[in-house]
Amino acid sequence: MTEQQWTHRVLNDPADLDDTPAELSAAQAQPWANFVVFTPDRLPAGTRLGRQSLRREAPPGRVGESTAGRTPWSTNNPAAFRFEVQGQDRRLRVKQFLYDWAFPALDHPALWESPTNAERLDEHHVLWHGTDYMGHPGASARIARTTIELSVLDGTFTREETTDLYRSLRPVDPEAVTTIAATPFATLSHWARRPEAPVIAVPLGLWDLCQVDTATITWRAVGDAHAQFDSVAAPQRLGDLALDSTATHHGPSPVVAEYLYSGGTGRGRELRLHALNAEYLPAAIKPEAHPAQHEDITMAGHRVRLAFIDDAHGPCDALIVDASDRPVWRLLASADTHTDRRWFLRALNDLLSTSHSTP
């Protein structure tokens, strides 16, 4: 791991926040972002690049009554960059940010509970099409760890136009791409850097086992020292990904420890391993409402409840249960052209087959 790591500009007080997100270009926004900022190099016919704006990062808190451009579900103030594409009687918005308050459910959380389907963008990345949480036609992709969400606000855009817009996205700063890829999640994350930031209760995947806001989470970047997973050692690599960062969950939470593995182009492929706390698990864990496939399998002598959306691209979500049929671990994967169902099952088998990784 290189010693060079990304640092970005932040505000020191929520009172310094702009009343509305500042109008900045993508290049001007990159020094303020804890993620790779992208801009399109071509647009749908008859459209132009509209307003571009940055929500700057600040410590948690609200001063005054303005909530324009800020998260409506919490008092946290993470960074986000937006741009609009406008044409006659039609308009869309693209929002970019680091989804760092939890595992980004399904790699397309903005399309939650919408039937979604994947489309290959390039050699590494996939684009998800569906309906966003506001009921608008939407799309979502994660590229170089940046979550990029599109929402059609007015009129219509064809699927081909949406896909081509994503394929045209280019990082505004190649040096930022390299440095951000070399930086652990726990160093980038707003929530990891700010222990006072309130935890947000959100879905994590395809099983109804959510992150709760009753917990506090302590993140750590992983160095060369061997990390500890609960009372046993966690693998340093899993599914060809390296251990990136670890977290301890304190307080009433179904998760007691969390291990993030990352790698691939732009460090954009990810696995999350959760050690579960039986004291705070529901009596029965049911599938989430998001459309998916579910099956029970046996692997390395363990029963696994597996859920996934797309056989070729994932994402996958597995609960590993003990002899009493209680989940003890959870393994979640991001979506990628390389992280298909077979790849995920190989990673899961490697985990369960190691002598020190037996529930």
C-alpha separations of 350 from 224, 299, 355 in Å: 21, 10, 10
49 or 301, higher pLDDT: 49
What stretch of H or E contains 162? helix 159-167
Of 105, 107, 96, which Cα lies nearest the Cα of 35?
96
What confidence category does residue 224 fall into, taking pLDDT thresholds of 50, 70 and 90? very low
What stretch of H or E contains 341? helix 341-353
Asked which of 174-178, 192-196, 233-237, 245-249 is least confident by mean pLDDT, the reply is 233-237
pLDDT at 234: 77
Mean pLDDT of the chain: 92
The 10s digit of each residue's pLDDT in 123-169 is: 999 999 999 999 999 999 999 999 999 999 999 999 999 999 999 99
C-alpha separations of 31 from 71, 181, 305 in Å: 21, 15, 43
- Cα torsion 323, 328, 332, 338 to 10°: value is -50
pLDDT at 131: 97
Separation CA 12–CA 354 (nearest Å): 46
Q: Is 59 helix (H, G, I), strand (E, B) or coil?
A: coil
pLDDT at 2: 46
Q: Write down the pTM of the prediction.
A: 0.94
Please state the rounded mean pLDDT for residues 71-82.
88
Angle 316-320-216 (CA atoms, 0-180°, nearest 5)? 80
Of 143, 146, 109, which Cα lies nearest the Cα of 123?
143
The 10s digit of each residue's pLDDT in 80-114 is: 999 999 999 999 999 999 999 999 999 999 999 99
Q: Give the percent of the chain with pLDDT over 90.
A: 84
What confidence category does residue 180 fall into, taking pLDDT thresholds of 50, 70 and 90? very high
Kindly report the backbone phi and psi dihedral angles of residue 196, in degrees, each rounded to the nearest multiple of 5, phi listed first. Answer: -80, -5
Cβ atoms of 50 and 82 within 8 Å: the answer is no
CB-side exposure of 300: number of CA atoms within 13 Å? 17
What confidence category does residue 359 fall into, taking pLDDT thresholds of 50, 70 and 90? low
Q: Give the percent of the chain with pLDDT over 70.
A: 92
The 10s digit of each residue's pLDDT in 262-302 is: 999 999 999 999 999 999 999 899 999 999 999 999 999 99
- Environment class of residue 351 by beta-carbon count within 10 Å: exposed (0-12), middle (13-18) or buried (19+)? buried
Separation CA 185–CA 271 (nearest Å): 12
All structural domains of the chain with their residue ranges? 14-181, 199-353
Start-to-end Cα distance in the chain? 31
Of 291, 323, 321, which Cα lies nearest the Cα of 307?
291
Separation CA 98–CA 180 (nearest Å): 11
Cβ atoms of 23 and 70 within 8 Å: the answer is no
Of 124, 106, 104, which Cα lies nearest the Cα of 114?
106
What stretch of H or E contains 29? helix 26-29
